[in-house]
Structure 1
């Protein structure tokens, strides 16, 4: 689908920035960023819903091509980014031995790349359901997978279970890809008001805060859990709100979201680590620096993306896993013809 929703892209950009801020150096010194981490759980489910939403629109027109193109692009990105971080880890740590584990297949070679492997699993589940005409089971799959995720973590301690947290994260794409797919298929955004979206958001925030308070007595890291029951209404509410708002795709934040949200998510650890090592040896420390460092790091990361996009577009496309030739516009074709005459 060529038609973009500018509002979705704005929220994609805000979500990518939120991920950067919560992962930034010295973020543990700022209670505000800790709170953002609690409330920012909507970001990854939102990304999954966006993928499912746009995928349905492509699938409705060309089912086979939609799957082959999506899986191919996802494989390119996953393989390239994992190879990139293997080299990055070797250069920064001097060894990749800690990465040689079966968990790498589920998480990728760096901590944030589980998003890509989870996305792959979600599309495989979606392909199975659609290929075998089991699309009526999509709501059932959503409910069951969400229950499994919550049982794996954070409510495993209440049941005396001890599964590794990565299993819950790896399944996270399944329900939210399906939710995005169903919202697009049934045009649910047309029947849901902004008020309903705001109510879902408020409900989700309230539930998450209650859950964190409750779970803190059982698990010290409750505030860092990726998904809670309240994350469902929060992320769905934000996604529906993005569909109900009317923002032009030409709006600057829409453009940034469309162009830079993926590379910002994929490569923000590089900037964070380099930034941390530079200033760890610097005498510039203190409260003000701790306060401003997340914003400074975000600004540097965005500047690097914009500069690469403008002056080294081939490198920028490769970093995004796009190795195809750039499309030539009608104006460029005309200019080339004129120059040869």
Structure 2
């Protein structure tokens, strides 16, 4: 079975997962360097922004054959297990206290009520996100796939890229570029189909048309896209006072993620090993649980007074190991049918 899997793509997924963990762990964000801004932490945050787009591209690549042949049945079979997992983890994140000191001193309802009220203040956005911020990935994936599946079902695959680009442009104009264009969206445009559809479409079209790029060209595309993404964030910060680390998707992001995808596609057997495939099958589970481990690790560090650069690095290592162990434990229980896809 492993012979049919693409080793380089599995490495890409693992590196993307590590990038997501670093984004959420926020290392070096208390180390101001220039203009009282923690530029090391800010750059690390933005350097990981290829991760979720790459997940989307790979999802589009792998689902293309079945989605092309049986669009709506495939969408249903693919989406229902993901929605089950999304709902289960949303309930967990809604129920688990985040601030352990407040929970201890003021009680469960006092700790939780503020977070619940925050989510209820924008219920439509919460619907597209779930019980915790990182869970937006699952509704975003399903929404993007639904757009492409509808085009396939209507025999209008030629519309996939135009529709995806239009959604992406709107998502940027009402998202990171909202200070420039002044467009107000009913939801945070990172959520839903606005930005995910284009990424999924890139993977879908790459497989459908067997698009390939030589490794060097793909690397230049990735570097150029990354550079554009970083410069866009700097422009928004300087010109419009937008925080540098809030930009999930910018104009350069699809180029950056696509470049990485084509680099990986050009070296399909890179790092092939049984251990790789054994580890990579737990990526979704680790993604789902990791933010809870980050929250409790940072709580513990604050209680113990453990801070500084060593703490910043330690939290990443702890989260990787503990999240993996928890997923393996879940996998040995009946809960795997609810909490893991």
Q: TM over 0.5: same fold?
A: yes
CA gap 1:64/1:208 in 2 versus in 1, 3 angstroms: closer
Work out the CA distance in 2 between the residues paired with 1:278 and 1:162.
39
Unaligned runs of 5+ in 1: 323-341
State which of 128, 135, 139 in structure 1 corresponds to 2:161.
139
Is 1:120 the counterpart of 2:142? The answer is: yes
Work out the CA distance in 1 between the residues paired with 2:270 and 2:191.
32
CA gap 1:294/1:53 in 2 versus in 1, 3 angstroms: farther
Is 1:179 the counterpart of 2:214? The answer is: no
Aligned to 1:195: 216
Aligned to 1:221: 243
More displaced, 169-178 or 84-93? 84-93
CA deviation after TM superposition for structure 1 residue 309, in Å? 4.9
State which of 303, 314, 319 in structure 1 corresponds to 2:332.
314
SS at match of 1:28: coil
Aligned to 2:318: 300
SS at match of 2:304: coil
SS at match of 2:240: coil
CA deviation after TM superposition for structure 1 residue 241, in Å? 0.9
Aligned to 2:29: 28
Work out the CA distance in 1 between the residues paired with 2:184 and 2:197.
22
TM-score when normalising by structure 1: 0.83
Work out the CA distance in 2 between the residues paired with 1:319 and 1:27.
36
SS at match of 1:166: coil
State which of 49, 54, 60 in structure 2 corresponds to 1:46.
54
Aligned to 1:277: 299
Q: Map 1:1-341 to 2 at 5 A.
A: 3-24=4-25, 26-29=27-30, 31-59=39-67, 63=71, 65-89=73-97, 93-95=111-113, 96-100=116-120, 101-163=123-185, 166-170=188-192, 171-189=194-212, 192-216=213-237, 217-245=239-267, 246-250=269-273, 252-256=275-279, 258-285=280-307, 290-315=308-333, 317-318=336-337, 320-322=339-341
CA deviation after TM superposition for structure 1 residue 196, in Å? 1.4
CA deviation after TM superposition for structure 1 residue 242, in Å? 1.3
CA deviation after TM superposition for structure 1 residue 320, in Å? 4.2
Work out the CA distance in 2 between the residues paired with 1:162 and 1:68.
31
CA gap 1:61/1:15 in 2 versus in 1, 3 angstroms: same
> Retained in 2: the 8 A contact 1:7–1:254?
no
Aligned to 1:336: none
Work out the CA distance in 2 between the residues paired with 1:168 and 1:309.
27
CA deviation after TM superposition for structure 1 residue 106, in Å? 1.5
Unaligned runs of 5+ in 2: 32-38, 99-107
SS at match of 2:199: helix
CA gap 1:222/1:34 in 2 versus in 1, 3 angstroms: closer
CA gap 1:6/1:314 in 2 versus in 1, 3 angstroms: same
Work out the CA distance in 2 between the residues paired with 1:147 and 1:283.
45
CA RMSD of aligned residues (A): 2.5
Work out the CA distance in 2 between the residues paired with 1:254 and 1:6.
8
CA deviation after TM superposition for structure 1 residue 21, in Å? 1.2
Work out the CA distance in 2 between the residues paired with 1:267 and 1:109.
12
